[in-house]
Amino acid sequence: MDPIRVPPEMFRFTSGDRAELYVAVLHAFGEANERLETALGLDDVRARLRSIGWLDALDDNDLASALDQLRTWNLVDVTQNHSENYRTASEYERRNLQYSLTRQGEAAFAGVVHAMSLLASTGALQTAVLDAISDRLGDLVQELDTGSDRRVFSTLTELEGHLEALRGNTKQFNGELQRLLRADGADLTTFHEVKASTVAYLEEFLTNLEPRTHAIATRIGKIEEHGVGLLHQRALLGADLPQLTGTDPGPAWLAHRRARWEGLRAWFRPTDGSAPRVEQLHLVARRAIITLLQVLARITESKRRSSSAVADFRELARWFTVVPAQEDLHRLWTTMFGLSSARHAHLAHPDPELVSPAASWHEIPPVAVSPLLRSAGKAERFTKTGRVRDVAAIKAARAEQALAERAELEAAWDMLDTGGAIRLSAFERLDHALFERLLDLLGNALATGPGAGGTRRSTTSDGRIEILLRPPQDGAIAVLTTPRGEFRGPDYEIEIRAAGQLRRRASGDDT
């Protein structure tokens, strides 16, 4: 894209102390142009000024000098009008000069109007625009088959209009969104509402985004089967361009259309394999939702306390300054902040349940303190081993049972071992008990948060079986059949594997 070069002086009229007058004058010309009056005399300008709301006193000299200034900036042209009948010399002087906007003047005023409208308007992401684009594309397909060139032209124009609206809206909305994300210090109550409604709005927009973009991309494909060149040629015929100047406007017009079509492709179906822009929209919206929710959380949080939090900390600083005793400092800290640790004994009787709750501490034997600690001031690290010994001695039976259960469970896990990434649908048929276990593993994995790339990873509590889940890229549905019915769910890419070598071998035996 070429850099934008604005002619010098073009927007000079918007600054300086007489800017208001200049803008008003240009506004007057603009209004007149809409009524197809292009040349205005001094009195006409004055009359128009009043009608657009310029009420200040303004003598002829001022107005004339303003117009003169605009002329030197190349915004206004002066012509002499000889067609009328003038009765007096003064009348001639007053009325023979006719002012009209130059091309630059028109552009400059349009620019100002556009700037003002941008300032006043708010952007929006509209599913309606997406729908309109999709509909027009559909129409185009039909018109290409059966319709006239004129219809092709008008539909294409509409399509471009909607695309323009989409671009404009998105640009503005994104700008607003980023401003919203930045402006943290604003008035909290309205802010809260604005953000909450923005989140709701974005969520609504996102829900329908994908099917729509998909439809649009398909239709673009269809039109390209017909040939985009043909489409543009027919539109050119339908446009019936007037040849006002010496050069043929056709090639430029076609180039313009091609650029627009490229734009459409870039949005929905880029040729160079890059991600469609509409997906970025998706990303931006999703990120914005997350950020907004975080900000909201923080606002609610600070609403609850912040007004007083600063004051609380300051007051607390004073309290800490005047509290007399060292002990009280620590107590104040523990009470106010609640960040201190609990404190507990770690030595227990081998079997606490053997001792009656009514017994006194003095009556029962003491806990086992390492004798080494008393004699040498060093403890052997007995806590761990001591505990295992206790469990073995007292809860042997229970442990044995757990072991048996474990073995059964492991056998099941072995059978589920996938030996690599497969799709969930690859299980096809499963024994019901096995299926239940699979379901439990899935549940385990789904309970964890997705990592980078959406992969969920989980291990069983003992860390020996690991399960990896990746969401299906194509959104396929898996159907598993068990003796008791069918299970349907997203066709995850699933990997169940055992951590140890020994288990690898076992699974090899099974298969």
Partner 1 sequence: MSQLANQLVTAEREEVAYGIRWLLSTPLITERSAPDVFDLVRRRREPIRKWFDYYCGWTLTVEPRLGYARLVKVRVAADASRPARRLRSGRAPFDRRRYVLLCVVAAELQSVPVTTIGLLADRITRATNADEVVTTFDASSRSERMAFVDVLRLLESYGAVEVVDGVTETFVESAEAKVLYRVDPTLLLRLLAAPVGPSQLAVPAEDVALRFEELLEAVSRERRYGLSAGRHEDTPGASDVQRNLWLRHSVFRRLVDDPVVYFDDLSADEQAYLNSPTGRRLLRQAAELGGFLLEERAEGVLLIDVDSVATDSRFPDDVANAKVAALLLLDTMSGPATVEQLEFTAAALLDRFPRWAKSYRGDEGTRQLAADALAVLTDFDLVRVTAGVVRPLPAAARYAVSATRTTEGTTP
Which of 176, 85, 78, 91 minimizes the C-alpha distance to 125? 176
Binds partner 1 (CB under 8 A): choice among 1, 119, 120, 322? 322
Smallest distance, partner 1 to C-beta of residue 471, A: 19
Choice from 75, 412, 468, 496 touching partner 1 (CB under 8 A) = 412
The yes or no reply on residue 368 touching partner 1 (CB under 8 A) is: yes
Q: Which is nearer to partner 1, 100 or 370 (CB)?
A: 370
- By residue count, the chain amounts to 511
If the CB atoms of residues 1 and 358 are measured against partner 1, the closer one turns out to be: 358
Q: Any idea what the Cα angle at residue 106 is, between residues 102 and 108, rounded to 5°?
A: 110
Footprint (CB under 8 A) of partner 1, residues 181-220: 184
Among 81, 142, 252, 319, binds partner 1 (CB under 8 A): 319
Task: Compare residues 255 and 393 and give the one whose CB is closer to partner 1.
Answer: 393
Rounded to whole angstroms, the Cα distance separating 496 from 504 reads: 11
Identify the residue among 114, 286, 395, 406 touching partner 1 (CB under 8 A): 406
Closest distance of CB 204 from partner 1, Å: 21
Choose, by CB under 8 A, the member of 87, 179, 318, 488 that binds partner 1. 318
For partner 1, how many residues bind (rule: CB under 8 A)?
A: 92
Task: Provide the β-strand partners of residue 100.
Answer: 77
Rounded least distance, CB 288 to partner 1, Å: 14
Site for partner 1 in 372-391 (CB under 8 A): 373-374, 377-379, 383, 387, 389
Q: C-alpha distances in angstroms, 333 versus 302, 319, 321, 338, 482?
A: 22, 11, 12, 8, 60
Name the residue type at position 247.
T
Residues in 418-437 at the binding interface with partner 1, rule: CB under 8 A: 433, 436-437
477 binds partner 1 (CB under 8 A): no
Binding flag, residue 448, partner 1 (CB under 8 A): yes
If 0-12 CB within 10 Å is exposed, 13-18 middle and 19+ buried, where does residue 464 land?
middle
Which ranges of 73-148 does DSSP label H, i.e. alpha helix? 89-95, 103-120, 127-146
What mask, x for binding partner 1 by CB under 8 A, covers residues 331 to 350?
Answer: xxxxxxxxxxxxxxxxxxx-
Q: In whole angstroms, how close is the CB of 256 to partner 1 at the nearest point?
A: 46
Among 251, 371, 489, 490, binds partner 1 (CB under 8 A): 371
Q: Of 52, 255, 293, 502, which one interacts with partner 1 (CB under 8 A)?
A: 293
Cβ proximity to partner 1, 50 vs 432, nearer residue:
432
Confirm or reject binding of residue 327 to partner 1 (CB under 8 A). yes
CB of 467 to partner 1, least distance (A): 13
437 close to 414: Cβ distance less than 8 angstroms: no
Residue type, 297: A
- 463 near partner 1 (CB under 8 A): no
Name the DSSP class of 493.
Answer: E
| Per-residue CA distances from 451 to 168, 242, 285, 448 (Å) | 35, 60, 20, 9
Quote the least distance from Cβ 329 to partner 1, whole Å.
Answer: 6
Of 461, 473, 501, 511, the one binding partner 1 by CB under 8 A: 461
| Nearest CB to partner 1, comparing residues 9 and 184 | 184
By CB under 8 A, tell whether 137 contacts partner 1. no
**Is 275 near partner 1 (CB under 8 A)?**
no
Least Å distance, CB 297 to partner 1, is 7
Query: Dihedral through CA 81, CA 86, CA 88, CA 92, nearest 10?
Result: -10
Nearest to 417 by CA among 360, 455, 377, 468: 468
Query: Which residues have CB under 8 Å from 19's CB, separation 6+?
Result: 13
User: Do 139 and 235 touch, CB atoms closer than 8 A?
Assistant: no
One residue of 100, 172, 218, 370 binding partner 1 per CB under 8 A: 370
Piece of 54-62, 275-283, 321-329, 468-476 that binds partner 1 (CB under 8 A): 321-329
Of 487, 458, 485, 482, the residue nearest 470 (C-alpha): 458
Half-sphere exposure (CA, 13 Å, Cβ side) for 238? 19
Distance CA 284, CA 290 (A): 10
Residues 6+ apart with CB under 8 A from 52: 24, 27, 28, 31
Rounded Cα distance between 282 and 221, Å, is 22
Q: How far is the CB of 173 from partner 1 (least distance, A)?
A: 24
141-180 residues in contact with partner 1 (CB under 8 A) are none
